[in-house]
Structure 1
Amino acid sequence: MIDRLQLENILFLDIETVPQHEQFDALDDTEKQLYADKTKYLRKDEFTPEDYYERAGIWAEFGKIVCISVGYFTNGGDGRSFRTTSYHGEERSLLQEFKNLLETHFNHRNHLLCAHNGKEFDFPYIARRMVINGISLPIKLNLFGKKPWEIPHIDTLDLWKFGDYKHYTSLKLMTKILGIPSPKDDIDGSQVRKVFYEDKDIDRIIIYCEKDTVAVAQILLRLRNEPILEEHEILSV
């Protein structure tokens, strides 16, 4: 099935998220209690809600998106290339820019979105943050009433499971076993909060996010038994 897909119709993406605030104390009393309730089964007795707040970025209710990187294949006279670009800045603005991309360039029925663990994280996170920010959902993220085969999403983790729904494989592990250059050669997801709030280095996060986006495309190529992208084929625009 994936062999029949036109690569030019797929928008590859990755997002980076952080807690809504730098410090737990920035939450009001109600938010603090709601966060404590949300995380109690994961925290158990090992962490207080405040100690656990550095992980708040994984929940759309308590986090926010600081970068969305996208990538897409093009075929020209010089052969194939993979172009990446990123949206960053104030969250509502970057979400609106991403929505505009979907509605102007990836709005046809044959267009698909692809991410690693996208069905469990990236796609619903973006949709929830759009709703919270008062942005109407683009058709590619509005899944209400759709049958499973009508959902325009590809998840490379889901493809790798081969029906084994209890199985999880990280992007880093996937790239290692498939012989793909690792995108985790600088920072990883656990460090994004520090780089954003303490180092204030959004450029470093953008580079990391774009590398993950490229890695997702590389994984799909390997799953199709096709040659992976070479460095000269990857362009940041």
Structure 2
Amino acid sequence: MISKIGLQNLLFLDIETVPQHEDFSQLDQNLQELYAKKTQYLRRDEYSPEEYYDRAGIWAEFGKIICISVGYFAERSEREFRTRSFYGDEKLLLEEFTNLLNDHFSNRNHLLCAHNGKEFDFPFIARRMLIHGMSLPEKLNLFGKKPWEVPHLDTLELWKFGDYKHFTSLKLLTSVLKIPSPKDDIDGSQVRDVFYKEKDIERIVVYCEKDVIAVAQVILRLRNEDLLKDHEIVHK
């Protein structure tokens, strides 16, 4: 099945998220109480809500997107994989991402592809768009769609082969498939500090784009095709 999908029909993506504020104290009283209730069973007695706030970026209600990186195979005689990133103001980057989808990836054959995208990236983007009062682009509007009509491809799901209790990180998957590691600088647990303390969004963008390339490499490996070479990757 995967070999029948045209590579040019795939838009690979990854997002980086952080808590909406640098510190728990910056939330209003209502949101502080709601965050405490949201996390009470995860925290148990080990952490206070304040101590647990560094993980707020995993929930769309308490986090925000600081970068969306995408990648796609250009329609050329020679293979070329192009990457592009949207970052900065969240609403603006979501609008720019929506324009990309509507202008270039709105065909019924186009699919969004990410690792664990169905559980995290795709719903997180959709929720943040609705929070900002935006209309969902067709590729993220799943209301009323049957499972086989959802235009999403997930490399985690592909690797499960129907084993729904099995979770494999992208780092582990690239390792076992002998794909060059995308994680050679920072990891997800450091993104918050790099954003709020170091204020180095460019570093985060590089990190995010490496994930996008890694997901594309996984798809190539699952199709039993040659991996991308450095000269085939173009950063826009």
Check whether TM > 0.5: yes
SS at match of 2:82: strand
Query: 2:232, 2:186 → 1: CA distance?
Result: 23
Tell me what 2:73 maps to: 73
Q: Give distance in 2, aligned partners of 1:126 and 1:93.
A: 13
**Which residue pairs with 1:133 in the alignment?**
132
Alignment of 1:104-115 (within 5 A): 104-115=103-114
Q: Which has the higher helix share?
A: 2
Q: In structure 2, how many angstroms separate the alpha carbons of the residues matched to 1:140 and 1:163? A: 24
Q: Distance in 1 between matches of 2:150 and 2:85?
A: 24
Corresponding residue of 1:51: 51
How much does 1:36 deviate?
0.5
Provide the C-alpha distance between the structure 1 equivalents of 2:40 and 2:171, rounded to a whole number of angstroms.
28
Equivalent residues in 2 for 1:22-61 (5 A)? 22-61=22-61
> 1:164, 1:201 → 2: CA distance?
39
Query: Which amino acid counterpart does residue 205 of structure 1 have in structure 2?
Result: I
CA distance in structure 2 between the aligned counterparts of 1:81 and 1:26, rounded to whole angstroms: 45
What residue is the counterpart of 2:230 in the other structure? 231
Q: Which stretches in structure 1 are left out of the alignment for 5+ residues? A: none
TM-score, normalization: structure 1? 0.99
State the AA in 2 paired with 1:163: G
Q: CA deviation at 1:41?
A: 1.1
1:220 aligns with 2:219: yes
For residues 63-107 of structure 1, what are the alpha-carbon distances to aligned partners after superposition, in whole Å with 9 as ceiling and x for unaligned?
000000000002423x10100000001000000000000000000
**Shift of residue 39, structure 1, vs aligned partner:** 0.7
Cα distance in 1 for partners of 2:129, 2:195 equals 21
The amino acid of 2:30's aligned partner reads T
Matching residue of 1:7 = 7
Q: Give 5+ residue unaligned stretches, structure 2.
A: none
* Partner Cα separation in structure 2 for residue 88 and residue 56 of structure 1: 19
Instruction: Show the counterpart of 1:103.
Output: 102
**Secondary structure of 2:119's aligned partner:** coil
Instruction: Give identity over the alignment, percent.
Output: 70
Relative to the length of structure 2, the TM-score reads 0.99
Q: Cα RMSD over matched residues?
A: 0.6
User: Which residues in structure 2 correspond to 1:142-161 (within 5 Å)?
Assistant: 142-161=141-160
Segments of 4+ moved more than 4 angstroms = none
**Secondary structure, in 3 states, of the residue corresponding to 1:83?**
strand
Distance in 1 separating the partners of 2:27 and 2:74: 45
Aligned residues: 236
Aligned pair 1:209/2:193, yes or no?
Answer: no
Q: Which amino acid aligns with 2:71?
A: G
Cα drift, residue 62 of structure 1: 0.1
